[in-house]
Every structure is written in structure tokens, then in C-alpha cells.
Amino acid sequence: MERRSSRAAWVIATWFGCGLVPKGPGTAGALGAIPLYALVVRGGQVGVGVAAFFVTIVGIWAASVVARELNQKDPQRVVVDEVAGMLVTLMPLPSLSWRGVAVGFVLFRFFDIVKPWPVRLFEKLPSGWGIVLDDIVAGILGAVVLVVVRALVGVL
């Protein structure tokens, strides 16, 4: 049973292999969130929120397993956190808009890489909690800026 759950944790944590790309696994993970977003946005913002919630919960578990097996605090291969964070950033979009997704992607990656306050605080949490929740906070910051951009520029 442990072996099967470990295998499932790796699939989820690496987001079906996105985290295994040699250069820019975090970027690959954020891009890997877009097909899921395109599917769940049909349920509107609630659909995206529900998906973000479930990816976060399962992601914390999977990230914890993989980090423990690799004996690393925040392995680069773990990108389910980017998936959850991207979904949070894209929540304000009322429907699928490729321009909005592109702006959301740039915003999320900016906050994920720069890690401004309070993102860095959440990174200090233990195990999968710190791995995933700092990206959730980066996603919240991205969503806030996305709302402002939509208000200033119009529909994305």
C-alpha cells in the first residue's frame, strides 16, 4: 500500500511529470495548471475555487511524501504547489480568456519567484504545508493584482 501511495504522491507532486523537466520545473508546473483551469472554469469561479481547494489539500499530502522521500525541504520537482497557486491567481476571471490566463501566469510566476511579504512567511511552515501554502499566498497576491488590472484595463 505504501508503494502505491508513494507512486500516486509522485505523480501528483510532479503534476504528471511537469516537475521533471530539467529547466524551469516551476514554470512547467504553472503551465501544467492551464489545462485543468480550462476544464474547471466551465463551472465559473466556483469551479476554479473548488479545484484549487482540492489541489491544495492533495498537494500538501503529495508534497510531504516526496519531500520526505527525497529528504529535502522543498524539492524543485514538486510543482503541485504551482498548480494550486496558478488556480488561485486565475479565480477572478469569470470565464476562459487566454489574455487573462497569460497575465495571470506572469503575475503568479512573479510573486512565486520574488516571494514578497507575506509569501516568504508561509514558506517556513513544515513539510508540504510550507511547500504549498507559500504558493497559495503568491496566488492570492496575483489574484488581487489581476482584479486591479481587470478594473483598470477592462475585460481580460
- Give residue for cell 512573479: 110
Residue 65's pLDDT is 97
pLDDT in tens, 17-43: 999 999 999 999 999 999 999 999 999
Predicted local confidence at residue 84, as pLDDT: 98
pLDDT, residue 64, reads 98
Based on the number of CB atoms within 10 Å of its own CB, is 26 exposed (0-12), middle (13-18) or buried (19 or more)?
Answer: buried
Q: pLDDT tens digits for 110-156? A: 999 999 999 999 999 999 999 999 999 999 999 999 999 999 988 77
d(CA 68, CA 63): 8
Q: Give the number of C-alpha atoms closer than 13 A to the C-alpha of residue 43, restricted to the C-beta side.
A: 12
What is the per-residue pLDDT for 5?
75
What is the pLDDT confidence band of residue 2, given thresholds at 50, 70 and 90?
A: low
Percent of the chain whose predicted confidence (pLDDT) is above 90: 94
- Provide the whole-model pTM: 0.95
Q: Could you give the CA distance from residue 39 to residue 60 in angstroms, rounded to a whole number?
A: 22
Give the mean model confidence (pLDDT) for residues 84-106.
Answer: 96
Band of residue 1 on the pLDDT scale cut at 50, 70, 90: very low
Q: How much is the average pLDDT of 77-94?
A: 97
**Average pLDDT across the chain, whole number:** 95
